[in-house]
A and B are shown apart, each in its own frame.
Chain A
Amino acid sequence: MQKLFSFKNGIILVAVLAFYAVIQFTISQDIMPPFVTLNLMLICVYVIMAVSLNLINGFTGQFSIGHAGFMSVGAFMSAIITAKLAPKIIPYIPLHDPKPVLLLLGLIFGALVAGIAGFLIGLPTLRLRGDYLAIATLGFGEIVRIVFLNSDYLGSAAGLTLPRIATWPWFFFVTVISVALIHNFVRSTHGRACISVRENEIAAEAMGVNTTRYKVLAFSIGAFFAGAAGALYANYMYIIQPSTFGFLKSFDILVMVVLGGMGSITGSVVGAVVMTSISALLADYPQWRLVITAILLVAMMLFRPKGLLGNKEFSLNFLGRKDGRNGDA
């Protein structure tokens, strides 16, 4: 049993807060170029997307390629709160500045609806294996896109305009909380059950693991966080369109997960940071970006199918085993 307030957790907390403070300071002092700020926000969104997809693909061993569909659900559902219903909700918020409450409501609503969508889609389709599941999730992503495309309430193809109310603290802390929650989930009894499904579904079932339940659970949690990421994204980008969340976006996220290593949360974070930075650097050559992504993906599969980190995690164990011994005592 690890202690919550251990030496290692302390170091992590300090590092996280220090990183946050430095960025927040540079943004508030206008030192940070807007382009870099934008990409920092995007990195946060993609870290959430990649880590939540990794829960489904890497840890539970399912294969979803419709993850952007859940992002889309989260984005549009939060937009209903923060853009469409905002005038009706704001009078009920007894605060001087109603924006944070509005964003929080949008975030929760977007994530919840995405999670429910994940549950509803996962329940029937997770009986399918491997490539069939992949295609079913791809189909789901496309259906979501077409439904939003045909919805006049949500602005159809032109999309919705939103206020920019998500700021760096929101992005940063939602990301940190998401990663921490998924990390802890993977380490819990339920997480172990998910991993056992990945390792050998039949054996897991024989040992009494309710495989369907855990597959649906992982899928819904993944969808929930993808919805949260979509909500953040929507409330920063001023405008969202159904075509933004096509399967190309799903593939982008898949590349991050694969690049970082299926089954490594650190890997997904690294993958998201690397891929977002690459696309930011290649922003002037958009046509090259996807070619490079594609070559990376194929080369990675041919030469290092486990991804950069395989299923290793970053840890502070190199600081000495003293901490561990204290934990045991």
Chain B
Amino acid sequence: MQVFIQQVINGLSVGSIYALIALGYTMVYGIVKLINFAHGDVLMVGAYVGFFATTNLGMSFLPALILSMVVCALLGVLIERIAYKPLRSHPRITALITAIGVSLFLEYGGMLVVGPQIQTYPSVFPDTIYNLGGVTFKIGDIAMISTAVILMVLLQFIVHYTKTGKAMRAVSFDYQAAMLMGINVNNTISATFAIGSALAAAAGVLIGVYYNSIDPLMGIIPGLKAFVAAVLGGIGIIPGAMVGGLFLGIVESFVSWAGYSTWRDAVAFAILIIVLIVKPAGLFGKNIREKV
């Protein structure tokens, strides 16, 4: 039982990161129907900003987190304006290829700037291990889960109770109609990219803190897995991304616990393919009839 709870806690820690990243994917997909492949790399940039803020500027965890979120929000808007906006009227595949290009650019451009070597993240939390009835956890675990939960609550608030959030929901519901109703679609899309990228940056800093190491290609695997999480929950649906992320985290932690840690990534992708085949709309999705 203790082992079970331990795995659930490990899974929730990792899963909350996946959920944060998946939220960005899902929001962007919901609004512009684009799989933003560069999302995982925005996460990497966020992790590096957090790294430089803590090591070079001597900031503590929270200011570093906020700084990295702001920088990445700007980066997200910039990427959208330069690379995706001119392609909005093109076939969706064109934008998808562009997203792959942006992703490669961030990865290897990043490698040119910061070097390909792995950097050790400074430990911002004490390494003390707490033991609660046989279940062990660190301050870092709690900080991670609570940061993720706070950000998700904040996101829910923004989406449901602010004007921007209302505009985002309207645009994702019907782009054309939203435009006719006088919603500034361009600004709304930018806001979506900003929020999504800020969440990715937060996830990047948390990954750095949790695994203690960052490198320019660190965003690829979490990015892909978060995408799996987003699809699992139903892409475009915000609560779906959260549930999908946590579910994936827990599944992975049990797979590792069962001694198949080298198969962990394969399991995530197998889940993806099964979900896509059995229920492409995801757990929370509705089936949409195709109209001719």
Point out residues on A near B: beta carbons under 8 Å.
Answer: 63, 65, 124-125, 127-128, 130-132, 134-136, 138-140, 142-143, 146-147, 149-150, 202, 251, 254, 258, 287-291, 293-298, 301-302, 305
Contacts and interface: CB of A to CB of B under 8 A. Distances in A.
Nearest to B271: A139
Q: Which of A65, A288, A298 has the most CB of B within 10 A?
A: A298
19 contacts: A127-B277, A131-B92, A131-B96, A132-B280, A139-B272, A140-B269, A150-B263, A254-B97, A287-B111, A294-B101, A296-B101, A297-B97, A297-B104, A298-B83, A298-B98, A298-B102, A301-B97, A302-B87, A302-B98
Nearest to A250: B100
A146 B100 contact: no
B105 A294 contact: yes
A54 to B, nearest CB: 14
A290 B231 contact: no
B292 interface: yes
Contacts of B93: 63, 130-131
A202 B90 CA distance: 20
Nearest to B221: A142
A49 B264 CA distance: 29
Given A125-B276, A130-B93, A302-B87, 15 more contacts: A124-B277, A128-B280, A131-B93, A135-B35, A136-B276, A142-B269, A146-B262, A150-B266, A287-B108, A291-B105, A294-B103, A295-B105, A297-B98, A297-B104, A298-B98
Interface in B168-200: none
Contacts of A287: 108, 111-112, 116
Interface residues of B, number: 43
B224 interface: yes
B105 A147 contact: no
Contacts of A63: 93, 96
Nearest to A140: B273
Main secondary structure of the interface of B (DSSP, over half): helix
Nearest to B110: A291
B86 interface: yes
Return the 3 tightest CB-CB contacts between A and B, nearest first: A297-B101, A294-B104, A294-B105
Given A131-B96, A143-B266, A297-B100, A291 B108 contact: yes
Interface of B: 33-35, 83, 86-87, 90, 92-98, 100-105, 107-109, 111-112, 116, 224, 227-228, 231, 262-263, 265-266, 269-270, 272-273, 276-277, 280, 290, 292
B100 A136 contact: no
A118 to B, nearest CB: 14
A291 B263 contact: no
Q: Which of B34, B101, B102, B277 has the most CB of A within 10 A?
A: B101
A147 B265 CA distance: 10
B100 A142 contact: no
Contacts of A202: 290, 292
Contact of B104 (A136, A142, A149, A251): A251
Contacts of A298: 83, 98, 101-102, 105
Given A63-B96, A254-B100, A290 B107 contact: yes
A146 B104 contact: no
A58 to B, nearest CB: 11
A57 to B, nearest CB: 8
B123 to A, nearest CB: 30
Given A132-B276, A298-B98, A143 B269 contact: yes
B110 to A, nearest CB: 10
Contact of B277 (A125, A150, A297): A125
B104 A305 contact: no
B230 to A, nearest CB: 10
B176 to A, nearest CB: 20
Nearest to B274: A124
Given A251-B100, A287-B108, A305 B94 contact: yes
Contacts of B83: 298, 302
Q: Which of A127, A131, A143, A251 has the most CB of B within 10 A?
A: A131
A251 B292 CA distance: 33
Given A142-B265, A147-B266, A134 B272 contact: no
Contacts of A134: 35, 96
Q: Which of B116, B227, B265, B273 has the most CB of A within 10 A?
A: B273
Contacts of B35: 131, 134-135
A142 B266 CA distance: 7
Nearest to A262: B93
Nearest to A206: B292
B263 A138 contact: no
A107 B269 CA distance: 29
